[in-house]
Amino acid sequence: MASQDILDGDRASRGSFINDPKVRGIFFQVLVVVLLVAGIWWIVDNVIDNLRRSNIASGFSFLRSRAGFDISESPIAYTSDSTYGRAILVGFLNTLIVAASGIVTASIIGFIVGIGRLSRNWLIRKICTVYIELFRNIPPLLVIFFWYFGVLSVLPGSRDSIHLPLGSFLNNRGFYFPRAVWGEGSWLILLALAIGIALAWFVARRARQRQMATGQPFPVFWTSVALIVGLPVLAFVLNGFPLSFDVPKQSTFNLTGGFQLKPEFLSLYLALSFYTAAFIAEIVRAGIIGVSKGQTEASEALGLRPRQVLRLVVVPQAMRIIIPPLTSQYLNLTKNSSLAIAIGYPDLVATGGTVLNQTGQAIEIVVIWMVIYLAISLVTSVLMNWFNAKMALVER
């Protein structure tokens, strides 16, 4: 590696062939390649040897054989008769579910706390600081344990469930809430929602064009709310209220009906949200501080109202600072969701680990993990880079 400095050096002054930067560069690179190839060859040789000795067939054909274990939470149909491949798919979907819901909640909490830390209000500022310093300095696994062993598992049993508003219950088997059952003709509501969104987008575009041309503003926000909320509600009413609720009912030993969130999911989701929110809050704070005061003052001088200052000047510039580190926090959250294995939430790593223990296909499972996590990272990065490019400063 010691060649960079002499790459641009003077060749003529060093007569020796050994001192030629190009030769050196090539020599070191060849050395690296040789060492690498030798190392990999040695490893592959050992692996083949070890696998032969322990009678493990390599390859991905095991994915088609019967899994034989149950998964407690599955968004798609799964029984112990399903294949290993399907078990891993279930794990992957569970990872996506907990990551996506965690990202949404963490962003909301993070933005609130981050803005709160810049509040003029002393008390709010202190509360937010305590929150951030508390969660940033303890391991995420501890937060997960806290929710799982400290809070959810000491809740009362299902017979003494805690009654919450709107017919929901909380006990040591999870959180139960009414499930919406859509009747016939519900697709009309979805259609109305789609039309509402499309119309709102159209109105916003026209309003912007008109304001650019004539300077007359148009109440885009309230019109959009009316369109997006109003149209589906109208469809709902016209259709004769095609909605009923499957309310959880208390029987002697258990709660039946309704939708159940299991404690494993709840504790993972809550822990990831609260933990990551502390980091997001710091990013948001840095972003807002990063917009210079002159910008705010200039926009006030232009006569913008405080809300307009925030929406048109501060937030767009702060977002530019916020987005890149925010992306890596989202990825961190997704990667931290692999801690699910510690409390038995069947995510990708947990189901993969079970498959690994049953089949002994260590290399294949690790390759599957790596490929999936790298793919998630890549897709998230591409999406956030696209968003970042959209928000970026348009320069001449």
Partner 1 sequence: MQEHDLSFVRVEMAIAQAPPRSEAGAGAWVRKNLFSSVGDSILTVIGLLLVAYLLPPFLEWAFVNAQWTGTDRSFCATVAQGGAQPDGWSGACWAFVQAKFGQFMFGRYPIDQRWRPILVAILFVALFVPLLIPKVPRKGLNAVLFFIVFPIVAFVLLSGGWFGLPHVETPLWGGLLVTLVLSFVGIAVSLPAGVILALGRRSKMPVVKLVCVIFIETVRGIPLVTVLFMASVMLPLFLPEGVTFDKLLRALIGVAMFASAYMAEVVRGGLQAIPKGQYEGADSLGLGYWQKMILVILPQALKLVIPGIVNTFIGMFKDTSLVYIISMFDLLGVVRQNFSDATWASPQTPISGLVFAALVFWLFCFGMSRYSMFMERRLDTSHR
Candidate list 341, 359, 387, 388; residue touching partner 1; CB under 8 A:
341
Write the CA distances from 94 to 87, 350, 374, integer angstroms. 11, 10, 17
Candidate list 61, 153, 244, 251; residue touching partner 1; CB under 8 A:
153
Report in angstroms how near the CB of residue 30 gets to partner 1 at its nearest: 8
Report the residue number, 51 or 304, with the smaller CB distance to partner 1.
Answer: 51
For 331-365, give one letter per residue: b (16+ CB within 10 A) or e: bebbebbbbbbebebbbbbbbbbbbbeebbbeebb
Q: Can you give the C-alpha Rg of the chain in angstroms? A: 28
Asked whether position 384 contacts partner 1 by CB under 8 A, the answer is: no
Residue with tokens 């305590």: 130
Per-residue mark of binding to partner 1, 123-142 (x: CB under 8 A): xx--x-----xx-xxxxxxx
> How far is it, in rounded angstroms, from Cα 240 to Cα 244?
12
Among 3-11, 185-193, 196-204, 213-221, the segment contacting partner 1 (CB under 8 A): 3-11
Per-residue mark of binding to partner 1, 278-317 (x: CB under 8 A): ----------------------------------------
Asked whether position 1 contacts partner 1 by CB under 8 A, the answer is: yes
User: Phi/psi zone of residue 188: left (φ > 0), alpha (ψ -120 to 50 degrees), beta?
Assistant: alpha
Helix, strand, coil in percent for the chain, rounding step 5: 70, 5, 25
Residue with tokens 């801690």: 339
Alpha helices in 239-394 (DSSP H): 263-290, 293-301, 306-308, 315-336, 348-359, 362-391
Asked whether position 335 contacts partner 1 by CB under 8 A, the answer is: yes
Report in angstroms how near the CB of residue 75 gets to partner 1 at its nearest: 21
Contact 127, 115 (CB under 8 A): no
49-108 residues near partner 1, rule: CB under 8 A: 49-51, 53
User: Shortest CA distance to 6 belongs to which of 28, 35, 36?
Assistant: 28
Asked whether position 363 contacts partner 1 by CB under 8 A, the answer is: yes
Asked whether position 276 contacts partner 1 by CB under 8 A, the answer is: no
Among 161-169, 252-260, 284-292, 332-340, the segment contacting partner 1 (CB under 8 A): 332-340
Candidate list 358, 373, 387, 388; residue touching partner 1; CB under 8 A:
373
Q: Is 393 helix (H, G, I), strand (E, B) or coil?
A: coil
Chain residues binding partner 1 by CB under 8 A are 1-8, 25, 28-29, 32-33, 36, 43, 46-47, 49-51, 53, 119-124, 127, 133-134, 136-142, 145-146, 149-151, 153-154, 335-336, 338-339, 341-342, 349, 353, 356, 362-363, 366, 369-370, 373-374, 377-378
